[in-house]
Amino acid sequence: MNAIISAPELAAELAGNHPPVVLDVRWQLSVPTAGQPPFDGHAAYATGHVPGAVFVDLNRELAGAPGASGRHPLPDLDGFGAAMRRAGVSASTPVVVYDGGQGWAAARAWWLLSWTGHPDVRVLDGGLPAWEGEISADLPAPAEGDFTPVPGATGLLDADGAAALARSGVLLDARAGERYRGEVEPIDRVGGHIPGALSAPTTESVGPDGRFLPAGELKDRFRALGADGGTEVGVYCGSGVSGAHEVLALAVAGIPAALYVGSWSEWSADPSRPVAVGADPQ
């Protein structure tokens, strides 16, 4: 099953006999700026969304409280399950997730639902800007779903697992190249990367319109980085959001990958963890 869906395909499914549950996960990485309020995804949703879509808050429902485990650690799974059921998610009903177009937040929801056992989750390719149908400000009241999250046995890395994979397989750093190299670090304690990790900015997996590159091009991109489908692959980023987008890009290319959810926000906060700087992975 494809991990993404086009806007025309979503419109057709919504008009069909078994429409998917649609989740709106608009979110932006907001670095506090004097006099500027943080991005409000729910307010954006309230002004207009895909008809029937239910808003999901990434910070509150797709992540736990920031702390030693990173800025966006795994959420409490009981709370996550309750949030998904309130949104109408059931195990037998397809789910489509979208965000404001960047794709990172939608990919986080896709990854979390997939990792906890939902069999049919897709991301709207290009997000809300790709949607050409009606925009609604109505707030839906979906029937309670029955989805119960069950953590997967694979697909998740911790710090030790990421460190080991950087030596035994392929560990991709989905952040911008300048953060990987340690030239700038706007958020975390120190810049740089996990020793052995390869720079692979997730922004290079999409075109100017925010849609994913064709699967063949993605496969070629990741193959050049050593992710050929026969090697274990892991991804990290700043806090497990843009990294989920890279896991999604790998899935589009047919390459399974695990996500280090704590990512650099967890790794760099621990002074005992080694840090590499520069373009050299080591």
**Two structure tokens written together for 274:** 């080694």
209, with CB counted inside 10 A (0-12, 13-18, 19+), is exposed
Task: Return the ∠ at Cα 257 (arms to 251 and 259), rounded to 5°.
Answer: 115
d(CA 15, CA 44): 25
CA atoms in the 13 A half-sphere facing the CB of 79: 13
DSSP-derived pairing of the beta strands 170-173 and 198-199: parallel
Beta strand spans in 49-120 (E): 54-55, 95-98
d(CA 96, CA 101): 14
For the chain, the 3-state helix, strand and coil shares in percent, each to the nearest 5, are 30, 15, 55
Q: Report the candidate in 137, 133, 115, 107 with the shortest Cα–Cα distance to residue 19.
A: 133
Q: Report the candidate in 241, 258, 275 with the shortest Cα–Cα distance to residue 170.
A: 258
d(CA 33, CA 15): 43
Catalytic residue among 170, 237, 244, 255: 237
SS3 state of residue 175: coil
d(CA 3, CA 115): 13
27 noted as active-site residue: no
Tell me which residues are annotated as active site: 237
